[in-house]
Copies of this chain bind each other. A is one copy, B any other.
Amino acid sequence: MRKMRIGVIGIGNMGSAHALSLFKNEIAGAELTALCDAIPERLQWAKETFDESVQIFDHTEAFFASSSFDGIIIATPHYDHPELAIRAFELGLHVLCEKPAGVYTKQVRQMNEAAKASGKVFSMMYNQRTNPLYLKLKEMIDAGELGEIRRTNWIITNWFRPQSYYDSGTWRATWAGEGGGVLINQDPHQLDLWQWTTSMMPKRVRAACYFGKYRNIEVEDDVTAFVEYENGATGVFVTTTGEAPGTNRFEICGDLGKIVIEDGKLTFWRLHMSAPEFNRSFTGKFGQPEHTVIEIPIEGKESAHNGIIQNWVDAVIEGVPLLAPGEEGINGLMLSNAMLLSAWTDNWVDLPIDEDLFYEQLQARINESQSKKLISHETR
């Protein structure tokens, strides 16, 4: 059977790693056939690294015109993701897109529609979905082990980034270059896992976002968001790039107990009787359902980026189900957009958000952005 031919567009940190994985045959059934980037140093690196089996392009037009691949991996700056994906779908190509799906949901919705119309295989690089901790969490929640979910709480503050990080690219942490800060750059995985593991999207969001609080940047580097779900449950999401050493603790409470993921461990406080049932039957004054604390054994390894690429290739070749369907990329982005919009309007934001209002508000900030140069032009 012929191998799936893959082109990688954008060979910065992530794209170059994906290209190497493919080139080294780490992905069964796939081969790297083309690369595209606009930055001379990267092109030079590519010429020195790959052989003649890989075509190298410095322009998107020529890359797409080459017809040298069946699918592409998009690893360009965020803003370009939807546009490139739409182009690919129109050409009948499969797409694996780096996170985030895009910067604003309005555009990502168009990408999803193009994907659907094309019938091609569309996946998001949500490599954390291969993390056995979150796979197990989702499996347990799906199996009803927590019962109805009542509260979620994710403190994800271990994203310390020094000023030198932000200063390493003029596009970094600018409205024009990235379209956001910690939410769009560092948190996409958590924003995805938060709703993916629980199968619950909030119905409304209220967030406090602080812009350039810890660093000399124009976007948000500190966020606390409160959410309400359809079933009455509530949730909190706290994140920042200003704290050290920070915390990564995800707590989910349900009628049947509580799960906490922290320090690479998944701990389950399992009630022997559901809290509502205990409440109905208990006649004493003080009392609560008994529980057992269990550290759930976690089996398997995180297959990470290669795992997602392999899954995408297997979906194309063998029709296996996608672990991270591309259309789901809009969910985490919706949360991040809602948080910013809530802060900008100092108000509750209902989901789905008013996508035009968000776009308008974002555009106003892009127009005033200090970014010297739009990175989105660098890869064209």
Where the two chains meet, the residues of A that have a C-beta atom closer than 8 Å to any C-beta of B are 150-151, 153, 155, 157, 160-165, 168, 206, 208, 210, 213-215, 222, 224, 226, 228, 232, 234, 236, 238, 240, 242-247, 251, 253, 257-258, 260, 269, 271, 275, 278-280, 282-289, 291
Contact = CB atoms under 8 A, between A and B. Distances in A.
A278 B162 contact: yes
A244 B291 contact: yes
Copies in the complex: 2
Shortest beta-carbon contacts, A-B, top 5: A160-B288, A244-B275, A162-B282, A244-B288, A162-B279
Given A228-B208, A236-B236, A286-B165, A243 B150 contact: yes
A285 B165 contact: yes
Contacts of A244: 257, 271, 275, 278, 288-289, 291
Contacts of A285: 164-165, 168
Given A150-B243, A151-B238, A247-B253, 8 more contacts: A151-B240, A206-B208, A210-B234, A222-B234, A243-B275, A245-B258, A245-B291, A246-B258
A155 to B, nearest CB: 6
Nearest to A232: B213
Given A208-B226, A236-B238, A284 B164 contact: yes
A153 B160 CA distance: 18
Contacts of A215: 279
B257 A253 contact: no
A165 B279 CA distance: 10
Contacts of A150: 242-243
Contacts of A242: 150, 275
Nearest to A168: B285
B224 A234 contact: yes
A2 B227 CA distance: 59
Given A271-B244, A288-B162, A236 B251 contact: no
A346 to B, nearest CB: 8
A155 B153 contact: yes
A164 B286 CA distance: 8
A242 B251 CA distance: 16
B283 A164 contact: yes
Contacts of A289: 244-245
A243 B253 contact: yes
A160 B278 CA distance: 11
B279 A238 contact: no
A349 B364 CA distance: 29
A286 B228 CA distance: 35
Contacts of A258: 243, 245-247
- Of A160, A215, A269, chain B has the most CB atoms within 10 Å of the CB of A160
Contact of A224 (B168, B214, B236): B236
Contacts of A234: 208, 210, 222, 224
A246 B293 CA distance: 12
A247 B253 CA distance: 10
A254 to B, nearest CB: 9
15 contacts: A157-B253, A160-B275, A160-B288, A162-B279, A162-B284, A165-B285, A168-B285, A208-B228, A222-B234, A224-B226, A224-B234, A242-B275, A244-B271, A244-B289, A245-B258
